């Protein structure tokens, strides 16, 4: 199985400041055949299911605010919230869909400082 390691486990950021979450996979998620990284980010608020934010490492889903951005390739990926808003308080998960079984990181809890 591909192991997904997120860091930090939690972080507290002031409103309007930048939040950065990292995710590292135990093997490369990049397919040379189509130049894509098989990697996604989700946001989960309390009592709700996860919501897809970003796929293919950096493609923001329709309706997701542009303060959310994804970057990275291969084994190292980053989710950046450029200006944290109160509604961004949540747990964020990374996920690989390169190989079965699809696996998730353990999550990063984002709070307001």
**Positions in the binding site for other proteins (CB under 8 A):** 38, 40, 42, 48-52, 55, 61, 93, 95, 97, 100-107
HSE-CB of 110 using CA atoms within 13 angstroms: 28
Tokens 């309007």 map to which residue? 16
CA-based R_g, the chain, Å: 13
Query: Toward other proteins, which CB reaches closer, 30 or 38?
Result: 38
CA geometry: angle 9, 76, 3, nearest 5 deg: 65
CB of 106 to other proteins, least distance (A): 5
Q: How many residues does the chain have?
A: 113
CB of 11 to other proteins, least distance (A): 17
CB of 37 to other proteins, least distance (A): 12
Query: Toward other proteins, which CB reaches closer, 16 or 100?
Result: 100
Query: Toward other proteins, which CB reaches closer, 78 or 104?
Result: 104
Instruction: Name the token pair of 15.
Output: 């409103």
Q: Are 112 and 14 in contact (CB under 8 A)?
A: yes
Query: Toward other proteins, which CB reaches closer, 41 or 81?
Result: 41
CB of 6 to other proteins, least distance (A): 9
Pairing of strands 10-13, 103-104: unpaired
């Amino acid at each position: 199985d591909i192991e997904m390691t997120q860091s930090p486990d939690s972080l507290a950021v002031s409103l309007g400041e930048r939040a950065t979450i990292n995710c590292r996979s135990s093997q490369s998620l990049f397919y040379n055949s189509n130049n894509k990284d098989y990697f996604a980010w989700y946001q989960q608020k309390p009592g709700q299911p996860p919501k897809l934010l970003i796929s293919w490492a950096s493609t923001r889903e329709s309706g997701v605010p542009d303060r959310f951005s994804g970057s990275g390739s291969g084994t190292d990926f980053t989710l950046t919230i450029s200006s944290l808003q109160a509604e961004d308080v949540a747990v964020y998960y990374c996920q690989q869909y390169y190989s079965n079984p699809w696996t998730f990181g353990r999550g990063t809890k984002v709070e307001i400082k």
